[in-house]
Amino acid sequence: MDLVSKHMTVTTIIQDYGFPVVAMFFLAYFIWFLWKYITKEITPKLNSTSATLIKLIDRVRMLDNDLIRLETKVRTFRNSKKK
């Protein structure tokens, strides 16, 4: 019986205030819920992910520098061997 009365209250609210007004309140609640979820759940994970990305970029730069040094050493060794 409670389920029927709940549906009746929603329908009476729609009849009294109109569908656009009721839909606006539902959309406002949905936007508020999404904002709350994003700020509590996703933002901290993005911050930790960006920190990990920065560490990986630093490692790639270090490996690139090592590769450049190694290529220079190999080139120097080959040039000295030719002479």
* Mean pLDDT, residues 57-79 taken together: 94
pLDDT tens string 7-57: 668 788 888 889 999 999 999 999 999 999 999 998 888 888 998 999 999
Element (H, E) at 71: helix 43-82
* Residue 39 to residue 32: CA distance in whole angstroms: 11
The pLDDT of residue 53 is 95
Examine the pLDDT at 5 and tell me if it is beyond 70: no
By CB neighbour count within 10 A (0-12 exposed, 13-18 middle, 19+ buried), where does 14 fall? middle
Which pLDDT value is given to residue 1?
Answer: 47
Q: Can you give the pTM of this predicted structure?
A: 0.50
Domain ranges of the chain: 2-82
The answer to whether 30 and 22 have CB atoms below 8 angstroms apart is no
Given a cut of 70, whether residue 4 has pLDDT beyond it is no
pLDDT score of 12 = 85
| Residue 72 CB contacts under 8 Å (≥ 6 apart), including other chains | none
